[in-house]
Structures are given as C-alpha cells and as structure tokens.
Chains A and B, each alone.
Chain A
Amino acid sequence: MAGLSLEHIGKKYPNGYEGVKDFNLEIADKEFIIFVGPSGCGKSTTLRMIAGLEDITSGTLKIDGRVVNDVEPKDRDIAMVFQNYALYPHMTVYDNMAFPMKLRKAPQAEIDKAVREAARILDLEKLLDRKPSALSGGQRQRVAMGRAIVRNPKVYLMDEPLSNLDAKLRVQMRAEISKLHDRLGATIIYVTHDQTEAMTLGTRIVVMKDGVMQQVDTPSKLYGEPCNLFVAGFIGSPQMNFIDAAVGEAAGKVTLTFGKNVITLPDAKGKVLKDKGYVGKVVVAGIRPEDVVDSNEYSEHKNLSETIDAVVTVYELLGSEAMIYADVDGGAISSHVSATNPARVGSRIKVAFDVDKLHVFDKQSELAIVH
C-alpha cells in the first residue's frame, strides 16, 4: 500500500477546455479518499489521470514517492473498478479475476490461490464458472472488485462503482466496500456524485466543481463547516436552507433580518460579522433542515432564535420522520420534524433556528464568514 501526491495537476484538452485546474492533494497510506461533485466537475478525469488513462497536461503525480506521469497504466501498480464494471465478456468469472496475474506470468498455483481467496471474500465461489452475461448487476460489481483485489495493488481506484445498482443493493455494497477497506488496509480513491456515499465511506472528501477543488476535509468537518455556498449546498440531503438576510445591530447584539423576521446571533458569531464589517450589508444565512426546529419540538439543548411564522407548502412523510417545506416572510425553508408532528399543507406553524448551527456566507464571494 502507498500514499499518493498530486501536485498542481491540470488537464487541458486540445480544444483549450480545462477539465481540471491546479489540483493539489496529499493522500496518506490507507486513506479512503472520495472525489465528489456534480457531473462534469472533473472528478472522473482526475481519477483517470491517476490511472494513466488520461494524460496529465500539467503538474506532477507521485505514487509512493515515484513520479509516474509518463508511466504506463499497467506499471503504476493500481487497480480500477469501472462504473460499467468493464468485465471481459468472453471470460468466466475465474478468468476475469485471474487475467491480470496471468499477464504478469504469475505461477498457476499462486493465481489460483489469489482468485479463490478473493472469491471467498466477495462470496463469488459459486459463480466462478459463469460468464459475466449470466450475472446480476451486483454480482458483476463484485467480480470487478475481485479483479482489483487479486492484483493486490498499491492503490485502488473506483469510478462510481455503485451507480448502476438499485438503491437497496447500493446500500448493501456500500457497507461491503467499507468493510473491504478495513480488511485490506488499502488506499482507495473513490469517485461518486452521491453525497451519501461520500459521507459514509470517506476518511476525507474532496469536493469539486468546474474542475476546481473546493474543499478537502473529513465528512464531519465538511458537513459542519462548509467553506463556501457550493459545498454547503452540495453536502447534505435535503440541502441546506439559504436565506438572504441583512446584518443589523440592536442593543449591542448583531441581528439578521429577512422580511419582517429578525433573529439575534450568538455573541461570538455576531462579533465576527461586526469585526469583518458586515453590519449594514446583505449576507446569505445557511441553516440545515434539522436545525430548523418546529415549536412543538423545542428542546432545551438548543440555542434557539426568535420564533418565525411559517406556512407549510409541502409535507413529506419519510417514515420515522417527516420533511416540511414552508414559506416564511423573506424566503422559504425546509425543516426536519418528527413523524408525529401534526403540521400538514396549509398549517400555520412557528419555527426557530438553532443559531449555534447557523452558517453565514458572503453574498458576493460565496465564501463562509462564520459557522
């Protein structure tokens, strides 16, 4: 296993389009790194550059300290799991998994041992004689994993490996991959557009947009302290509420005003806004749905704001809990409530923000001011 180092990596296509811009990242041994972002953000391109399937047009890529920019994919000691599995359709499951070792002229006994071990780990023992066409999506996915494991590579690359599976299987395989990471102690780089996968699997997450790295952090930091509006909106489902609010000052306290609603910020947050000269300006207030609390569910543990009147427009029962979407003066908000909450469409309710969890962003630069 090994660490990776990406220094100023860039990808510029012949037509001048820059797919990836100045990408810098140190990946430690045994890390589970996730590249996440919307379609076309450059996450797959970055992964394919690491694999050697795309040329790196600028910057330096090191695997285990060795510069590999011009090294053939097969000599980089990496294995990749593709979105469409990319199994060899004319080979059996056994041969698919044995293929990389066979090409490396490994002794037959060694190949057999490695393939059977991988098959055991992935529960493929009964399918070894089948062709990929006779397998279900989940089974194919496991064979693709198996082919990677057999190689015992320094780094595993996974390009949206779960996106072709149905929802239930995806959750199941997510847990399997997590277990596999613990078991193999492998360095894994994993590309996904699904932020749930990113949050549950990664030791660190790289959020990308338009070829530019936005933030690299642990899942909890990314969720709790997003560096800008994009990250705040991308991570978390349903997404964070954003409301344009004017910063004011009353009786020594800093307030946010939207419509006729005024909420008072805790002193620490207020001080940051005041020190940075935001009083009198418009900012974007961000608050996650679980931090918008219905008056029926006030708890003593939260530092709640003043009450805000809201009219419910959509009610979604999710099972153990429910989502409420409501109009407030000066904006719209969503709120996580318990399934027993009596509010329905048209209900007039009162909510309050947990101001400890309130994020404030600059409206122009979109960068976070205070969390």
Chain B
Amino acid sequence: MANLAMAKNGSDRNRTFMLILIPVLVLFVAFNTFPLLTGFFYSFTDSKGYGAFNIVGVQNYLDLFSDARVLNSYLFTFKVAVVATLGTNIISLILAIGLSSKIKFKSALRGLYFVPRILGGLVVGYVFSYFFTYIVPAITGTESILASTEWAWVAIVIVVVWQACAQTTIIYLTGLSSVPEDVYEAGALDGATGWDKFRYITFPLIMPSVTTNMVLVMKDMLMVFDQIVSMTSGGPAQSTESISYLIYNNGLAGGQFGYQCANAVIFFILIAVVSILQTKFLNSKEEQL
C-alpha cells in the first residue's frame, strides 16, 4: 500500500513538473529555436525578407568574405569589444575593491553603482547622445566626437563600459567576499600589503569571477546594438557599424535578408568560438582551490 501511495505521489509530482516546464519549452522553441533554424535556412537563399526567393547554396557565405562593409563592421565590433571588456573589468574590479572596504555608506553606494544595470540600453544611449552632442562640446568648445569618424567609437566604448560596470562590479564583489578574512590577516603578518596583497592573494583567489566577467562582458560587447542605434546609427560614414547593427539594418530594412542571415550564422559561430576559447584559457589560470 505504501509503495502504491508513493508511486501515485511520484506521478503527481511529475505532472506538476511537466505543467511548469512545457509552456516555457513551447515558448522557447517558438521564439528561439524555430527562428534560429529558419534563419539558418534563409542563409542559403537570396530572400529579401518578403516575396519569392531562390536557393543560392553557399554563395552568401562566399560573398561575405569579400564584402568590405561586413569586414569593417567586424573590425569595429572586435575593437570595441576588446577595449570595452578590458576597460569594464579593470574599472569594475577597482570599484568592487573600494566598495568591499570599510567605508561609510557602503550599501547606498553599492545600490547607486548598480543603477546603470536597470536602465535600458536605448535610454542610456539617448542620454549620452545628448551629453556628447550638446554638453561636452559646450564645455570643451570642440566638435562632438559622435561626428568624428576617427573618435566616435570611443564614445560608444565609454557608454557601454559605463553601463556594463554595474553587473560586473556585483560579480567581483561576490568574489571578493568569498575570500576568507583570515587569509588576508595571515597575509598582513607575512608582509603582503598593498599591491602585493592584490597580486598574490586577492587576484588569484577571485580568478573564477574574472573568468565569468571576461566571458559575459565580451559576449555582450560583441553584440553591441542599442547604443549604436541610439547614438550614431552606425555613422558617421559607417564608422561605428557593429555586426548586430549591420545584420539588423541591412537584413530587415535593406533587402539583404538571406545575405545577413548568413552573416548572423557566421557571427553566432564566432561568438561561440571566442567564448569557448576564453573559458578554456581563463580556466587554466584558475586555481583549484
């Protein structure tokens, strides 16, 4: 009897789990997996995004490699991603060390530094666009850097770093709080203070957080989109055209749907490869505690 009751209980529980899981699974397949697969299919066509289309085989992929505009967007995106990832991590780590020390208003400051995270990318982009277009030139008396083909990318970096620091700082704070206090105390007695303390004790012990942040931020930065839309629309002269922006712009508005689908597939593979390589490399630096 007891066994029977248990079996019944078990199947009740299974049914509950299924009821929770299936709706999510349906939504995920409908809005993620299915479009992904259709996109993959369209990458072998000359579709404009509407009307009839022909299968063109791997022609889109071959054309991508000789397209200067696509190449430029890759160069721009990787330049922004590398600089912004390093910038975000360095600034966040410094902030996190400051916020985990014994200072006044620590909780309030932690909350304040998290605000950029809860603002949308577009909102932040438009605010900074105003800032760079009107406020900065008024103070410096120079032209807005958003109008400069040479420097507009720096403005993008500043904005994405400003926004990304919020979450990255939180992850570093968690990492720092997991280092036992007595290890620092032992370090203080052994002579590890200041830079030595950071180099020999803190940094090696928060290496797992460094890996997490490097991979997450790099991925986000490679997919930079909102800030481009709101600040430069890819300009001036296509100098700030990120890959995501190019795919969106030319794919949906420019009649290159099939072609940009191919671009998206390449981009997807590239991000996956970069993330895997990063994880492998950084994991090897992590200490087995």
Interface string of B210-248 (1 = CB under 8 A from A): 000000000000000000000000000000000000000
Asked whether any CB of chain A lies closer than 8 Å to the CB of B180, the reply is yes
Asked whether any CB of chain A lies closer than 8 Å to the CB of B35, the reply is no
| Residues B190 and A103 in contact, CB atoms below 8 Å apart | yes
In the complex the two chains form, what is the Cα distance from A256 to B264 in whole Å? 98
How many of B's residues come within 8 Å of A, CB to CB? 21
In the complex the two chains form, what is the Cα distance from A82 to B180 in whole Å? 12
In the complex the two chains form, what is the Cα distance from A91 to B25 in whole Å? 45
| Residues A133 and B289 in contact, CB atoms below 8 Å apart | yes
Asked whether any CB of chain A lies closer than 8 Å to the CB of B201, the reply is yes
Q: Pick from B183, B191, B287, B289: contact of A74, CB below 8 A.
A: B191
**Which residues of chain B are within 8 angstroms of A276 by Cβ–Cβ distance?**
none
Interface centre among A52, A78, A83, A100 (most CB of B within 10 A): A100
Interfacial residues of chain A within 278-334, with CB under 8 A of chain B in the complex: none
Asked whether any CB of chain B lies closer than 8 Å to the CB of A277, the reply is no
| Residues B289 and A72 in contact, CB atoms below 8 Å apart | no
Contact count band on A: 20 to 34
Interface string of B178-215 (1 = CB under 8 A from A): 00101101111111110010001100110100000000
| Residues B183 and A79 in contact, CB atoms below 8 Å apart | no
| Residues A53 and B183 in contact, CB atoms below 8 Å apart | no
In the complex the two chains form, what is the Cα distance from A90 to B186 in whole Å? 14
Contacts A88-B201, A103-B192 hold; do A80 and B288 have CB atoms under 8 A apart? no
In the complex the two chains form, what is the Cα distance from A151 to B204 in whole Å? 23
Interface string of A74-88 (1 = CB under 8 A from B): 100011101110111
| Residues B189 and A80 in contact, CB atoms below 8 Å apart | yes
**Which residues of chain A are within 8 angstroms of B191 by Cβ–Cβ distance?**
74, 100, 103-104
In the complex the two chains form, what is the Cα distance from A84 to B180 in whole Å? 10
Q: Nearest chain-A residue to B183 (Cβ)?
A: A86
In the complex the two chains form, what is the Cα distance from A83 to B193 in whole Å? 22
Interfacial residues of chain A within 49-82, with CB under 8 A of chain B in the complex: 51-53, 72-74, 78-80, 82
| Residues B289 and A80 in contact, CB atoms below 8 Å apart | no
**Which residues of chain A are within 8 angstroms of B183 by Cβ–Cβ distance?**
86-89
| Residues B205 and A100 in contact, CB atoms below 8 Å apart | no
Asked whether any CB of chain B lies closer than 8 Å to the CB of A230, the reply is no
**Which residues of chain B are within 8 angstroms of A83 by Cβ–Cβ distance?**
182
CB proximity of A86 to chain B, nearest CB, Å: 4
Interfacial residues of chain A within 87-102, with CB under 8 A of chain B in the complex: 87-90, 99-100
**Which residues of chain B are within 8 angstroms of A151 by Cβ–Cβ distance?**
190
Contacts A53-B185, A82-B185, A84-B180 hold; do A147 and B190 have CB atoms under 8 A apart? yes
In the complex the two chains form, what is the Cα distance from A353 to B189 in whole Å? 51
Asked whether any CB of chain B lies closer than 8 Å to the CB of A193, the reply is no
In the complex the two chains form, what is the Cα distance from A52 to B190 in whole Å? 12
Q: Nearest chain-A residue to B207 (Cβ)?
A: A90
CB proximity of B21 to chain A, nearest CB, Å: 37
Asked whether any CB of chain B lies closer than 8 Å to the CB of A131, the reply is yes
Closest 8 CB pairs of A and B: A90-B287, A86-B182, A100-B190, A86-B186, A103-B191, A74-B191, A90-B204, A89-B289
15 contacts between A and B (CB under 8 A): A52-B188, A53-B188, A72-B193, A73-B185, A73-B189, A74-B191, A78-B189, A83-B182, A87-B183, A89-B205, A90-B204, A100-B189, A100-B190, A103-B191, A147-B190
Binding site for B on A (CB under 8 A): 51-53, 72-74, 78-80, 82-84, 86-90, 99-100, 103-104, 131, 133, 147, 151
Known A82-B186, A90-B205, A133-B289; 11 more pairs at CB < 8 Å: A53-B185, A80-B186, A82-B182, A86-B183, A86-B185, A88-B183, A88-B187, A99-B200, A100-B189, A103-B192, A103-B196
